[in-house]
Structure 1
Amino acid sequence: MAKYGEKAGEKVEKAMHEMKEGKLKTGSGKKVTSKKQAVAIGLSEARKEGGKVPKKKDKS
């Protein structure tokens, strides 16, 4: 069974594209430079829209 839904894939793809163009920004307004950060933003957006995305892991 798929871990991520189609919407999640689309959001991550869009975030990566924006990052490569230099248009993706963090919540504080800084430019995103890392691929990991772009993926996290894409998944977060998909999660907000109700897409099939696993819950966030704790940083402990």
Structure 2
Amino acid sequence: MANTSTKSRSEAITARKMKKVMHEFKEGELESSSGDKVRSRKQAIAIGLSEARQAGGKAPPAPKERQRH
């Protein structure tokens, strides 16, 4: 893993948010927006990336909804 000093500020924000969310998930404390406990690792990752985006971190864009014709 790269040293924190070599990361950009936005990458550091993303790493910090993901670490916090995954810790909450492993401890069983992470909740979704509806208030239910998160049981899926994929859902925990999605929540972490979403929080990182909102905080100004460097994260891939959220997938767009499929357009209907």
Task: Look up the match of 1:44.
Answer: 50
In structure 2, the gaps of 5 or more residues are 1-9
Larger RCO (CA within 8 A; separation ≥ 6):
1
Gaps of 5+ in 1: none
Q: Distance in 2 between matches of 1:41 and 1:13?
A: 12
The normalised TM-score by structure 2 is 0.72
| Matched pairs, number | 57
Moved segments of 4+, more than 3 Å: none
> Higher Cα Rg: structure 1 or 2?
2
Structure 1 residue 10: deviation in Å? 1.6
Aligned-residue CA RMSD (Å): 1.5
Identity of aligned residues (%): 51
Q: Are residue 32 (structure 1) and residue 38 (structure 2) matched?
A: yes
Q: TM-score scaled by structure 1? A: 0.82
Q: What is the alpha-carbon distance in structure 2 between the residues aligned to residue 26 and residue 41 of structure 1? A: 8
